[in-house]
Structure 1
Amino acid sequence: MTWWRDAVVYEVYPRSFADGDGDGVGDLRGLLGRLDHLAWLGVGALWLCPVYPSPQRDHGYDVAAYDDVDPVFGTLADLDAVVAAAHARGIRVVLDVVLNHTSDAHPWLRDHPERYVWRPPRPGFRGGEPGAEPTNWGAAFGGSAWTWDPGRGRYRLGLFSPWQPDLDWSRPDVRAAAADVLRFWRARGVDGFRLDVITLVAKPDVLRDGPVRPGARYADGVALCVDGPALVDHVRGLRDACGDALLIGEAPGVTPASAARLTAQGGLDMVLQFEHAELDRWPERWRRRPLDLRDLKRWARRWQDPGAGWPALFLGNHDQARVASRYGDPGRWHSRSAATWAVVLHAHRGTPFLFQGDEIAMTNRPLAGPDDLVDVEGRAVLAEAVAGGADPEEVLDGLRALGRDHARVPVSWDGGPHGGFTTGTPWTPAHPEAPHRNVAAERADRSSVLHVHRDLVALRRAEPALVDGDVTVLLPDDPVVYALRRRLGRTELLLVASTTADPHPWPAAVDPAPWAGAQVLLTTARVAADGDPAPDPATAPTAPTAPTAPTAPLAPWEARLLRRFHPPTPTSRTDPMGYRDAVTETSSTLPDLTGLIKAYDVRGTVPDQLNAEVARAIGAAFADVVVLPEVRDGATPRVVIGNDMRPSGPELVAAFADGLATRGVDVVTIGLCSTDGLYFASGTLDIPGAMFTASHNPAEYNGIKLCRAGARPVGQDSGLSRVRDLAAEYLRDGVTTAEGVTPGTVTEQDLLVAYAEFLRGLVDLSGIRPLKVVVDAGNGMGGFTAPAVLGTGAGLAALPLEVVPLYFELDGTFPNHEANPLEPANLVDLQKAVVEHGADIGLAFDGDADRCFVVDENGDPVSPSAITALVGLREIAREQAAGRTPTVIHNLITSMVVPDLVTAAGAKAVRTRVGHSFIKAQMAESDAVFGGEHSAHYYFRDFFFADTGMLAALHVLAALGGQPHALSALAEQYQPYVASGEINSTVTDVPAARARVVEAYVEQQGAGPVTVDELDGLTVSHWDGHPQWWFNLRASNTEPLLRLNVEAADEDIMVKVRDDVLALVRQQEA
């Protein structure tokens, strides 16, 4: 595991952490003396805010030199000592690096002014006069973002202040200098970097005026510079410079999609996003609004999706007010509420960040008046708001709740003078609560907030489900209780947290029965109310839990974290699935295989779900249900079996074949093959087949894809449910050879050459121009089939292709990346290689190589819907040339470009439900020539109505090589619309949520005339009107989820429809 996944990162703001020399300012020697506190907490890393030379107008975030330490904090030797001492305690060091801007005292501004962002005056104005600024942008700390330089005759950009000029990252020398900064500190032993406002470095090529909100003097320049077009490349350059160092990107303004891109393609390990930190304030940074817990849950659903990358979890930092005051209870439950918020944070997926002082629930410091504001932002916010007409006292009251000053108050170490922070006069006053709320006092109290934090850090290291478990946010419409579920293997965790000062019943929507016997891992009910007598050390709790029944009513502001284990699955030969624990020897109850045998295939973890004994039972059941009933008179029953490169494959194949043999079925094994290779074998041999693969799933999985003779699918409705039930009987009763049956035999056959010849014969590749093709097999079966089909590995004639191989070595442990191109992170290597090699196209295959994903010459993915349209038109033309009217199948969440183009070409387009079995059945019923899905499955009539990614790849190569244009230009015509992708929403009442959507869009016709169908869920279309849009809302078969897909003619329409439908789905239910 990467070290930072199960670590907690502790943020140190050095000016206020600890003073080692008595001058009243925190420094590196003070930090050195307090490292044992971090070690006692158990944190894995400390994030050190800037200590570089600086005028200190923004307390270090105005950097005057990147390769030294400001004397106020100490020396380079002091920093080296901190790094060494931290490492000795098992703590890594992460430096805060400010690369978007420097101080105006940095020598670069004098010696290399060209490294900064300059623009001429606005046309028609003279520099320096009012209104001459290039844009109407304001600086974050007040005033215009532009500073006139008479000597250069141009304006200089400073998004934060005039004395923090922005660097021009479009310049190679700036990017090189930034990379050198990271190399310098890596050489000194630093383990990682927090990249300050890194999402602002890629400015737009053209800087334009922005909107000005009421009461403001300027547009928000920061918001207009977020996530520029070159950002991923800029960040990737920093990754290349610092090797495997931890890279954390402070990323204001990002979305989950852009965060995924920055982590998957840019090389960031995680991003610090601020969407949740804006939920309790209006756009004016001082104007507060109450936090709605339902908004926080909506945020969690967006950002806990694995597709958004690995999250950096925080509630407090140096730029935020104190957590305990901002989110907690203002009365007697202050301490407990702070502890509860800590538990809520740690229960999420991601790396938790803990800001100094929050571990003892430090509060906001009283602010008597403007003179108490020491932070540059607080002073600027007050001045700008008052200049815009706001009431000064109202603004100051907002800053009392939300200002940054509170985080800058010195840490309270003990009850002595200045809270033990310094022996001198502190640069800003110590907290008045220091005498009773301090580290020493809380460390002595086992029931304190500090000990809750320590227990959370330890629990994170001890409980893998807290790190890697799947996340489900529960009770989306409950305004009081925050709940979520984590699941990893047999372990399931449940967080239930009350945010009210009153006792609260166990939430009715969470079934208490499964949790009645659960273990209470941690409860904050042990944290006493503020003002209650201090606990007696002799009787105080010594464990993180109080004697609480798992599903008892919740105490005021209680967070409760429960753990339960699902039934064990031992793998002995006598009881392979562990069902002796659940049924007695005399019970007629059957083992439950529903978790293993799914709608279309068999798939599970090895060996706890799928092992040799289970495979043998499934083999016998498959023979009884599928193979033997279809045997023609006098024919010998046969089944063809193949397997992918997963290490468990050969043993499972042998056991499955043994199960078939007990029924007198002969087995033809073709060994290593792709899934479409197995379909080819089943089609050409005209016998049933079994492919052992878990496709794109992680290494610990394996599975079986079953088909009838001719590669016809087997699903739950066509025999798989009966196979499941019969296999359960055989697991219970044993598999024996039927009386009078001669056991089947096993023979081997190599069909790779025949498979390659067959595919080549379906696509005309003659006359295509030479192409350079990067192929990423992901260590899966594409590394076996691609050389045979695209190269000369099968002895076929060479094609005019230069193939650049990536990860062709067969390795079912997937050492480079998972063979799942649906995840953006797994396409990064291919995208990079395509650009580096100047290739024409990139192809990526999943683990069993039945799906093909395409990227263009720029490394940009080409959507599966576009590939469906492209290949579909080629197959239509071939059919029409033969005098036939073709049909093309597509599922109902592929892009509308597919039916549009198919119909325009004079063919018939047929929609199906989502799912392999539906599209295959419709293909056969309508004799369709081709079918495609949004998931990159492509089906061909001439390939036994089965799916094959390799044949689709040949079509794309033929289309690209048969004309002179680049793939990006070729694909553009197939990608005219904007889609949302699939968005999941957890809802407590699926029918009610769906009914709200029906009422709004169907019954009331609120969006104008629409067409509606319920082929699969609810599809509402406005495609025949203006503006054009459609959406589909489908319920999950296994979870309380609704899945939404939206497509529209442009981005604005798509976003509006998406957000409107999500609001209906996720709104509070009556």
Structure 2
Amino acid sequence: MCAVLLLCIQVEETSEVLADEAWWKHAVFYQIYPRSFKDSDNDGNGDLLGILDKLKHLVDAGVTGVWLSPIFKSPQKDAGYDISDYYSVDPLYGSIADLKRLIEEAHRLRLKIILDFVPNHTSNQHKWFIASENGEEYYKDFYVWVNGTSKKPPNNWISVFKDSAWKWSNKRQQWYLHQFLDVQPDLNYRNKDVRKALHQILIYYMDIGIDGFRVDAVPFFVEDKLLRNEPRTNKPNVQPNDPDYLNHIYTRDTDETFEVVYELREVVDNYTRLHGGDARILMTEAYSSLDKTQRYYGTYDGRRLGAHFSFNFYFVKINLNKTSSKEIRDYVETWINSLPKIYVSNWVIGNHDNSRAATRFGPKNVDGFNILVSLLPGIGVTYNGEEIGQEDGEVSFEESRDPSARNKSTFKQDSRDFERTPFQWDTTLNAGFNRGHRPWLPVSEKYHQTNLAAQKNSSSLTHYKIYREVLKKRQEPPAKYGDTNISAFSEDVLILKRSLGSSHIVLVFKFGGDKSPESERVYIPSIDCNIAKIALTNIDSDYSIGATLDPRTFVIKSHESLLLDITC
């Protein structure tokens, strides 16, 4: 009996490892911005049933899991990141019943569903805050309340959206902390009942089948208990009400914040141990320094685990006019070499808070960057629209919905609406987003040229076809298990080589700097053979897929990306 029991335990442990390997450690997660993806009921807002209707697209593309930006009930003062009820779906998007239908169909199609979880703050319309402001005993300390007078905030802390991070409550005669909008009060993580309440939310959604959570704004969880003023930065031309005016040493990435993330990991791991099945995962958002971003994974020795991965935002922030291939190489090597081997790397080129990849890098470079981040080791993350090379949309100040862009003079720099315009499905009215109702944000005028249907049906190579093929390529042994070598051949030519034994998958990408030559002759370092087969190119390449070239000497032009199969 003991021998049989031991065998069962070993099989269960092996199954868990295989499940991990089978999905999250080499997964591609596709971020959907629900309000802009697909509107099923023609009210101008994308919704869950619209996503359900388009799941086949994600299967065809080859993604592993779908991450949904916030769908919880919300006054929508900050696009759903101001939650008034964690246990309800906002009517904009549907209902809990719709969510369950989406999960069921996704699982039938072997897709995972990841929810956006916003635990740093709630809406001021959440029942917790209303009870806390009214002084109800249980909820009294659910938020960060500080004594003082109405004329002067407790300290100099500045919110992400500018101005003081403190708001005076006439009802309670105290200040409350809000590191985002003043209608988004910060929860008090020093209260064990707050942590317990948040853990119960995770459990509720795992009970209905959710496969994991993207955890929002993790650096802000726990602030300095002494409420010390933060020091000035040395940044020039920054106004005193701007968050960049201060060095946020007391409000971001505190030691206690990491402990909160490790505790969240215990919740999801314990759930998986208790209920079985594939691992439920955490992915964390932290625009932090490299060492702190990687610390959210867990301790260096792995004794305390945090997120399964914390987003690596390097490619989201680079400016090609100021970035060389050497800088990209150095960063990739630094990330891989500094991350403990027990953890899994991840690569992101866009999201809902930053200008789209095709706009930042240029449409001619989007194929190269999609191939690059797909073939780097570990996890890939795609923002909806990147697979078709969708660019930022056109939104006027009057049409804007983003609270971070309240100032008309800085609207174009601050607004996040441009990357949130509706997905471009086809050439029909409103790009196929809905049946004609005015969308919550305008559809880009470029949808006639850039849309999924045209790219799927074209007889030529398209952004979508390249994206789909490279996701297939990343499943091949060299890309999945091989060694990684990245080199800077010249100022703007990057070479990525994934090798397993004598098999190599090689990307040669010339992204075209301002001062670089239009074309140049290159070679693949450390390859001792004279034939390479062209597996994939960008849409405007002079080379043909299936042709061969000599990897010891060939010419590549600006914005060209060549994916080569080499066996020596």
TM-score by length of 1: 0.46
User: Hey, what does 1:341 align to over in structure 2?
Assistant: 369
Distance 1:227 1:156 in 2: 20
Q: 2:305 aligns with which of 249, 266, 270?
A: 266
Q: 1:564 aligns with which of 553, 563, 566?
A: 566
User: Hey, what does 1:522 align to over in structure 2?
Assistant: 536
Distance 2:248 2:347 in 1: 22
SS at match of 2:331: helix
Q: Report Cα offsets for 1:82-118 as digits up to 9, x if no partner.
A: 1111111111101110011111111110222411112
User: Hey, what does 1:430 align to over in structure 2?
Assistant: 443
User: Hey, what does 1:899 align to over in structure 2?
Assistant: none
Going from structure 1 to structure 2, the CA distance change for 1:515 and 1:179 (only over 3 Å counts) comes to farther
Q: 2:43 aligns with which of 23, 42, 46?
A: 23
Shift of 1:230: 1.8
Does 1:115 pair with 2:135?
no
Distance 2:120 2:492 in 1: 40
User: Hey, what does 2:461 align to over in structure 1?
Assistant: 447
Contact between 1:492 and 1:563, CA under 8 Å: does it hold in 2? yes
Q: Report Cα offsets for 1:490-513 as digits up to 9, x if no partner.
A: 4333321001286422336x4475
Contact between 1:193 and 1:246, CA under 8 Å: does it hold in 2? yes
Q: Which structure 2 residues correspond to residues 531-542 of structure 1 after superposition, within 5 A?
A: none
Q: 2:329 aligns with which of 274, 292, 297?
A: 297
Shift of 1:306: 5.9
Contact between 1:232 and 1:266, CA under 8 Å: does it hold in 2? no
User: Hey, what does 1:554 align to over in structure 2?
Assistant: 556
Going from structure 1 to structure 2, the CA distance change for 1:17 and 1:435 (only over 3 Å counts) comes to same
Does 1:364 pair with 2:392?
yes
Q: Report Cα offsets for 1:902-946 as digits up to 9, x if no partner.
A: xxxxxxxxxxxxxxxxxxxxxxxxxxxxxxxxxxxxxxxxxxxxx
User: Hey, what does 2:254 align to over in structure 1?
Assistant: 228
Q: Report Cα offsets for 1:415-466 as digits up to 9, x if no partner.
A: 01100101122111111011221110001125000001101111112x1322
Does 1:161 pair with 2:181?
yes
Does 1:323 pair with 2:357?
yes
In the alignment, residue 317 of structure 1 is paired with which amino acid?
N
Q: Report Cα offsets for 1:379-400 as digits up to 9, x if no partner.
A: 3xx46xxxxxxxx3xx45545x
User: Hey, what does 2:225 align to over in structure 1?
Assistant: 205
Going from structure 1 to structure 2, the CA distance change for 1:506 and 1:177 (only over 3 Å counts) comes to farther
Distance 2:248 2:25 in 1: 30
Q: Report Cα offsets for 1:1000-1055 as digits up to 9, x if no partner.
A: xxxxxxxxxxxxxxxxxxxxxxxxxxxxxxxxxxxxxxxxxxxxxxxxxxxxxxxx
In the alignment, residue 146 of structure 1 is paired with which amino acid?
W
Going from structure 1 to structure 2, the CA distance change for 1:276 and 1:434 (only over 3 Å counts) comes to closer
SS at match of 1:164: coil
Q: 2:344 aligns with which of 296, 303, 310?
A: 310
Shift of 1:293: 4.0
Q: 1:492 aligns with which of 504, 507, 530?
A: 504
Contact between 1:321 and 1:405, CA under 8 Å: does it hold in 2? no
Q: Which structure 2 residues correspond to residues 406-417 of structure 1 after superposition, within 5 A?
A: 406-417=418-429
User: Hey, what does 2:519 align to over in structure 1?
Assistant: 504
Distance 2:518 2:322 in 1: 21
In the alignment, residue 217 of structure 1 is paired with which amino acid?
P
Distance 1:55 1:515 in 2: 62
In the alignment, residue 255 of structure 1 is paired with which amino acid?
L
Distance 2:546 2:338 in 1: 31
SS at match of 1:71: coil
Shift of 1:169: 1.0
Q: Which structure 2 residues correspond to residues 718-729 of structure 1 after superposition, within 5 A?
A: none
Q: 1:14 aligns with which of 34, 58, 61?
A: 34
User: Hey, what does 1:246 align to over in structure 2?
Assistant: 281
Q: Report Cα offsets for 1:153-196 as digits up to 9, x if no partner.
A: 32111111101111111211111111111101000001111011
Shift of 1:292: 4.2
SS at match of 1:485: strand
Distance 2:150 2:387 in 1: 49
Relative contact order: is structure 1 or structure 2 higher (C-alpha 8 Å, sep ≥ 6)?
2
Shift of 1:207: 2.6
In the alignment, residue 204 of structure 1 is paired with which amino acid?
D
Q: 2:206 aligns with which of 169, 186, 194?
A: 186
Q: Report Cα offsets for 1:513-559 as digits up to 9, x if no partner.
A: 525323333222x4479xxxxxxxxxx98xx6566554521133111
Q: Which runs of 5+ in 2 are unaligned?
A: 1-20, 132-138, 270-278
Q: Which structure 2 residues correspond to residues 50-129 of structure 1 after superposition, within 5 A?
A: 50-111=70-131, 112-121=139-148, 127-129=149-151
Does 1:237 pair with 2:239?
no
Contact between 2:533 and 2:548, CA under 8 Å: does it hold in 1? no
Q: 2:157 aligns with which of 134, 137, 141?
A: 137
Going from structure 1 to structure 2, the CA distance change for 1:275 and 1:222 (only over 3 Å counts) comes to farther
Distance 2:169 2:312 in 1: 34
Contact between 1:55 and 1:62, CA under 8 Å: does it hold in 2? yes
Distance 1:558 1:94 in 2: 34
Contact between 2:324 and 2:491, CA under 8 Å: does it hold in 1? yes
Contact between 1:227 and 1:258, CA under 8 Å: does it hold in 2? no
CA RMSD of aligned residues (A): 2.5
Distance 1:17 1:421 in 2: 7
Going from structure 1 to structure 2, the CA distance change for 1:549 and 1:25 (only over 3 Å counts) comes to farther
In the alignment, residue 505 of structure 1 is paired with which amino acid?
E
Distance 1:396 1:166 in 2: 26
Shift of 1:15: 0.1
Contact between 1:448 and 1:527, CA under 8 Å: does it hold in 2? no
Shift of 1:51: 0.5
Going from structure 1 to structure 2, the CA distance change for 1:435 and 1:498 (only over 3 Å counts) comes to same
Contact between 2:315 and 2:348, CA under 8 Å: does it hold in 1? no
Contact between 2:34 and 2:69, CA under 8 Å: does it hold in 1? yes
Q: Which runs of 5+ in 1 are unaligned?
A: 122-126, 282-288, 329-333, 384-391, 530-539, 567-1070
In the alignment, residue 500 of structure 1 is paired with which amino acid?
G
Going from structure 1 to structure 2, the CA distance change for 1:144 and 1:269 (only over 3 Å counts) comes to same
Going from structure 1 to structure 2, the CA distance change for 1:275 and 1:458 (only over 3 Å counts) comes to closer
Shift of 1:133: 1.3
Distance 1:291 1:69 in 2: 42
Number of residue pairs matched? 514
Contact between 2:421 and 2:443, CA under 8 Å: does it hold in 1? yes
Q: 1:216 aligns with which of 220, 239, 248?
A: 239
User: Hey, what does 2:378 align to over in structure 1?
Assistant: 350
Q: Report Cα offsets for 1:835-874 as digits up to 9, x if no partner.
A: xxxxxxxxxxxxxxxxxxxxxxxxxxxxxxxxxxxxxxxx
In the alignment, residue 454 of structure 1 is paired with which amino acid?
R
Contact between 2:293 and 2:310, CA under 8 Å: does it hold in 1? no
SS at match of 2:31: strand
Going from structure 1 to structure 2, the CA distance change for 1:68 and 1:546 (only over 3 Å counts) comes to farther
Q: Report Cα offsets for 1:199-228 as digits up to 9, x if no partner.
A: 321323333222154322234579432321
Contact between 1:55 and 1:64, CA under 8 Å: does it hold in 2? yes
Shift of 1:471: 2.4
Going from structure 1 to structure 2, the CA distance change for 1:316 and 1:439 (only over 3 Å counts) comes to same
Does 1:405 pair with 2:424?
no
User: Hey, what does 2:317 align to over in structure 1?
Assistant: 278
Distance 2:375 2:355 in 1: 22
